[in-house]
């Protein structure tokens, strides 16, 4: 597979990354097999995280015996403080069976409060800088679900990569974040290339992303056949047609006002409801082990039942979602489909 330069890091990476979330659902043997089959297809870029349960461990088993210098491994820590960040990184290296990680990312800096904690005294960023100096991390990066916050962090010029949602229904990053990444020569990882499970047309999704030069889509992979299909789309380099754009517009229209972008601008909620967690319930269950998704969401579902319909969230939502109504719909879907 073609390798492209990943920003100022100079790393040469495959045009598609292997996203490590879905292998949480697989047995260790099946996960190892899937990762190895994808590597054999020419994929050399693997992205995982401390938060993805045993994903790091499974990937470590899969890459054992491979030439480490031929792989580009990225992982993440969601820690705010230096001590926890360092513990996450050390465990990452142990699970992966390596002395260093190519790209280590602060995970999901999506609010001013999170940013202040990470970059404050004894914050995770201090741990990142020490890890770079010690050779445990080659290139620091970060991920976010909030473009304005990401832009602020990018402008510090501390990082070599940024990871943001980008797909044909979530295009906010293309207005400022992708151009700024190019200006700063940062690698750009396209999170949720299939809309977190909302998009089931890989042809359309990856032809759209293939038209954006230099970005690296990072799909979560559970079956090697999924990667094989994506690689075929990427390598065909078949531009979108007017008919394709019409299909995209039709899909956007179908989603309408009901799609939560998970930006969390709606927060804080006076009832402490995890709104994006509740509205993203179906996607979480589709992408993660059911028990994990249920565990992550059950408390928020309980809180969603206490919604007082104050509409404060609606006034903050940049997408004008009818949040109280959508919360009720999600709770009803939970009651009908989820067994706790």
Pair of tokens at residue 182: 């190019």
Q: Tally the C-alpha atoms within 13 A of residue 112's C-alpha that lie toward its C-beta.
A: 3
Query: 100 pLDDT exceeds 80?
Result: yes
With beta carbons less than 8 A apart as the criterion, state whether 104 and 73 touch.
no
List CB contacts of 255: < 8 A, sequence separation 6 or more: 169, 198
pLDDT in tens, 156-200: 999 999 999 999 989 999 999 999 999 999 999 999 999 877 787
* DSSP H or E stretch at residue 143: strand 137-143
Q: What is the DSSP string of 258-313?
A: G------TTPPPTT---HHHHHTHHHHHHHS-HHHHHHHHHHHHHHHTT-----HH
Q: How many residues does the chain have?
A: 340
pLDDT at 63 over 90: yes
Q: What is the pLDDT of residues 293-318, one digit of tens each?
A: 888 889 999 999 999 999 999 988 86
**Predicted local confidence at residue 200, as pLDDT:** 78
Q: Identify the pLDDT of residue 261.
A: 74
Question: Mean pLDDT over residues 133-138, rounded?
Answer: 98
Nearest residue to 62 via CA among 221, 215, 190: 221
Band (pLDDT 50/70/90 cuts) for residue 257 is: low
pLDDT averaged over the chain?
93
Task: Kindly state the tokens that stand for 285.
Answer: 């269950």
β 45-47/72-77 pair status: parallel
User: Domain 3-240 class?
Assistant: alpha beta
pLDDT over 70 at 41, yes or no:
yes
pLDDT at 340 over 70: no
pLDDT at 111: 87
pLDDT tens-digit readout, 1-31: 899 999 999 999 999 999 999 999 999 999 9
Tokens of residue 42, six digits: 């020419």
- Banded pLDDT at 223 (limits 50, 70, 90): very high
Asked whether the bond before 333 is cis by omega within 30 degrees of 0, the reply is: no
Domain boundaries, the chain: 3-240, 275-337
pLDDT of residue 226: 96
Question: What's the whole-model pTM score?
Answer: 0.83
- Cα–Cα distance for residue pair 262/277, rounded to 1 Å: 8
Question: Which of these, 255, 106, 243, 227, lies nearest to 167 by C-alpha position?
Answer: 255
């Amino acid at each position: 597979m073609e390798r492209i330069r990943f920003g100022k890091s100079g790393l040469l990476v495959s045009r598609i990354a292997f996203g490590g979330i879905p292998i949480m659902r697989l047995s260790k043997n099946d996960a190892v097999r899937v990762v190895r089959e994808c590597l054999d297809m020419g994929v050399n870029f693997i992205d995982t995280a401390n938060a993805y349960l045993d994903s790091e461990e499974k990937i470590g088993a899969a890459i054992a015996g491979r030439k480490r210098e031929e792989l580009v491994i990225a992982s993440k820590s969601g820690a705010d403080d230096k001590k926890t960040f360092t513990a996450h990184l050390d465990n990452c290296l142990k699970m992966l069976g390596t002395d260093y990680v190519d790209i280590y990312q602060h995970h999901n800096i999506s609010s001013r409060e999170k940013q202040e904690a990470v970059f404050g005294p004894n914050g995770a960023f201090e741990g990142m800088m020490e890890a770079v100096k010690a050779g445990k991390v080659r290139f620091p990066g970060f991920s976010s679900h909030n473009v304005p916050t990401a832009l602020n962090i990018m402008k510090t010029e501390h990082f070599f990569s940024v990871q943001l949602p980008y797909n044909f229904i979530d295009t906010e990053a293309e207005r400022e974040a992708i151009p700024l990444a190019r200006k700063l020569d940062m690698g750009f990882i396209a999170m949720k290339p299939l809309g977190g499970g909302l998009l089931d047309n890989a042809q359309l999704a990856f032809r759209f992303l293939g038209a954006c030069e230099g970005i690296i889509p990072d799909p979560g992979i559970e079956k090697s056949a999924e990667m094989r299909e994506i690689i075929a789309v990427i390598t065909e380099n078949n531009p979108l047609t007017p008919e394709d754009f019409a299909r995209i517009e039709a899909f956007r229209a179908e989603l309408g006002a009901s799609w939560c972008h998970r930006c969390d601008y709606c927060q804080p909620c006076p009832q402490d409801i995890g709104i994006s967690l509740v509205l993203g319930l179906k996607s979480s269950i589709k992408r993660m082990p059911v028990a994990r998704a249920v565990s992550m969401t059950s408390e928020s579902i309980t809180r969603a039942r206490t919604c007082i319909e104050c509409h404060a969230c609606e006034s903050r939502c940049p997408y004008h979602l009818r949040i109280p109504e959508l919360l009720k719909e999600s709770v009803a879907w939970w009651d009908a489909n989820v067994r706790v």
